[in-house]
Amino acid sequence: MSLVIPSKWLPDNNLQYFLILKNLTFYFVQAYVIFQWQYSFAGWIQPLEKFLNDPTLTSPDYRFEDFYPGLVASHSWSGQLGSPAGGGHLWGIPIQWEVHILAYNRDLLDKAGVAVPQTLMEEFAALPKLTGEFDGKKTYGLCAMLERSWATLDNSFWPPYASWGCTDFNRDMKCVIDSPRSVEFCTKWVEAIREYGPPGTLAMSWYEQLEAFCSGNYAFYSFPDSIRAIITDPEKSNVADNLGYALVPQGPSYQRKSHVWSWGLSMNKETKVPGPAWLFIQWSTLEDVLVKAALLGNVDPPRQSVWLNPQVVEATQEYGGRDVIQQTMEKYAQIRFTPNPVAPAMGDRFVQALQEIYHGEDAQKALSQAARDIDQILKETVSR
């Protein structure tokens, strides 16, 4: 695979020299999808399809169709509130992703006589049996965080919330986290965390949640799969030898919805050198570059060909779960945030309400107030 570099971009016939001297790195940004929505709405980044579709700028070998369609869709948005991801402009080229699957501690499940849950109701019912003392150690059914940050939604929350039939905004972009179904789920979920989850979950970040699961004292962990290398490393994880993976459980209406998180490379709207910036983005996401990255630890490459590359398969096989991940990616995963420019703030406020419920606030009241605040934040952002 090769890239054709126009000679006008190579004043010294040395691309690396040029990139460093011109500080080209400041002309693009790696960002998670929800931030790309924010940046695109604010006009800080520019659409990439004009570069992608320009044969003088994009190598014929680039094969953009090789990228997972779901990832490309999440990085595409019209910028119009209420329109779903997948249309409009392309704001980023995916470079890394992760989907949520269910990890479980086989040993704990065996000792408690609990089968791998297929539904959330089964999971909730199993939690009391898994929480207590096994072999003299304190165990917990659920490994879930509830830190006051939008990252909480991205760690364990979205799959069960979406599978329960809940979402953040309706088609009119009114926040609906206070719908009866959402109130029902949030009450159950928070109660499950309070009774069967980690102590100190309200101040638990994603890496503390990961450490907690690695302690071997937790049964279920709906987790982003890219950290498999850590939980399967016997030096870092007590659960490495007892680990099982499964699809995230279905909701009451037999819906199974996972969540995908994707990072992409975007281009600064103000860049003076869009061509070379695009060239760098293109190079970073070439098949052979992504194979190298996968072998160095980027275990979830955005190109299907790289995911199926024999070298990558061999290198990532030891972490397990490839079938579950692939099935999740193909059938159940999509970004669960509704595209909007204030998704991080929405997440923060939503989790604040979950924390208030944890501390005994009425769920309907806490979520209704949060929904009103989120509507207000969104209104302030879009109206002038």
Partner 1 sequence: MKKLIFLPALLLLLGIVVYPWLTGIYQSFTNFHLAHSTYRFTGLQNYIRFFSSAQGLQMIRVTFLYTFLVIVIELPLGIGVALLLNKKIFGINILRTLLVIPLVMPPVVSGLMWKMMMRPGSGVFNYLLGLTGLPNFPWLTGKHSALFSIALIDTWIYTPFVVLITLAGLQSVPSQVLDSAAVDGASKLKVFLHVTLPLVTPHLIIATIFRSIDSMRMFDLIYSTTRGGPGVCTMNIHMGSYLFGIKQLNMSYALASLTILWVFVYALIFSFFSLLRRSQQRL
Q: How far is the CB of 376 from partner 1 (least distance, A)?
A: 10
Q: What are phi and psi of 268, to 5 degrees?
A: -55, 135
In terms of CB distance, is 122 or 208 closer to partner 1? 208
User: Which of 70, 117, 198, 301 lies at the binding interface for partner 1 (CB under 8 A)?
Assistant: 198
User: How far is 162 from 350, CA to CA, in rounded Å?
Assistant: 15
Return all residues near 359 (Cβ < 8 A) that are at least 6 apart: none
User: Which of 66, 191, 208, 287 lies at the binding interface for partner 1 (CB under 8 A)?
Assistant: 208
Binding to partner 1 by residue 78, rule CB under 8 A?
Answer: no
- Applying CB under 8 A, what is the total number of residues that bind partner 1? 34
Return all residues near 116 (Cβ < 8 A) that are at least 6 apart: 102, 104, 109, 244, 246
Q: Which of 61, 39, 67 is nearest to 262 (CA)?
A: 67
In terms of CB distance, is 302 or 341 closer to partner 1? 341
User: Which of 294, 341, 363, 371 lies at the binding interface for partner 1 (CB under 8 A)?
Assistant: 341
Q: How far is the CB of 243 from partner 1 (least distance, A)?
A: 20
Q: How far is the CB of 335 from partner 1 (least distance, A)?
A: 19
Binding to partner 1 by residue 148, rule CB under 8 A?
Answer: yes
Binding to partner 1 by residue 169, rule CB under 8 A?
Answer: no
Distances (CA, A) of 160 to 117, 260, 261, 282: 12, 13, 15, 36
**Can you name the residues that pair with 221 across neighbouring β-strands?**
103
In terms of CB distance, is 243 or 346 closer to partner 1? 346
SS3 142: strand
In terms of CB distance, is 211 or 287 closer to partner 1? 211
User: How far is 308 from 323, CA to CA, in rounded Å?
Assistant: 11
Which x/- pattern over 342-381 shows residues binding partner 1 (rule: CB under 8 A)? x-xx--x--xx--xx-xx-x---------------x--xx
Binding to partner 1 by residue 201, rule CB under 8 A?
Answer: yes
In terms of CB distance, is 278 or 358 closer to partner 1? 358
**Can you name the residues that pair with 244 across neighbouring β-strands?**
104
User: How far is 111 from 124, CA to CA, in rounded Å?
Assistant: 17
Binding to partner 1 by residue 216, rule CB under 8 A?
Answer: no
Which x/- pattern over 281-320 shows residues binding partner 1 (rule: CB under 8 A)? ----------------------------------------
User: Which of 177, 212, 329, 333 lies at the binding interface for partner 1 (CB under 8 A)?
Assistant: 212
User: How far is 365 from 275, CA to CA, in rounded Å?
Assistant: 52
User: Which of 42, 125, 308, 313 lies at the binding interface for partner 1 (CB under 8 A)?
Assistant: 42
Q: How far is the CB of 359 from partner 1 (least distance, A)?
A: 5
Return all residues near 313 (Cβ < 8 A) that are at least 6 apart: 322
Binding to partner 1 by residue 107, rule CB under 8 A?
Answer: no
User: How many other C-beta atoms lie within 10 A of the C-beta of residue 372?
Assistant: 13
User: How far is 23 from 159, CA to CA, in rounded Å?
Assistant: 40
Binding to partner 1 by residue 43, rule CB under 8 A?
Answer: yes
Q: Which helix (H) or strand (E) holds 31?
A: strand 28-32
User: How far is 173 from 169, CA to CA, in rounded Å?
Assistant: 5
Contact 328, 248 (CB under 8 A): yes
In terms of CB distance, is 53 or 376 closer to partner 1? 376
User: How far is 125 from 140, CA to CA, in rounded Å?
Assistant: 13
In terms of CB distance, is 92 or 341 closer to partner 1? 341
In terms of CB distance, is 139 or 298 closer to partner 1? 139
Instruction: Supply the DSSP symbol for 226.
Output: G
Tokens 């009391």 belong to residue: 128
In terms of CB distance, is 149 or 179 closer to partner 1? 149
Residues that bind partner 1 (CB under 8 A): 38, 41-43, 138, 147-149, 198-203, 208, 212, 215, 341-342, 344-345, 348, 351-352, 355-356, 358-359, 361, 377, 380-382, 384
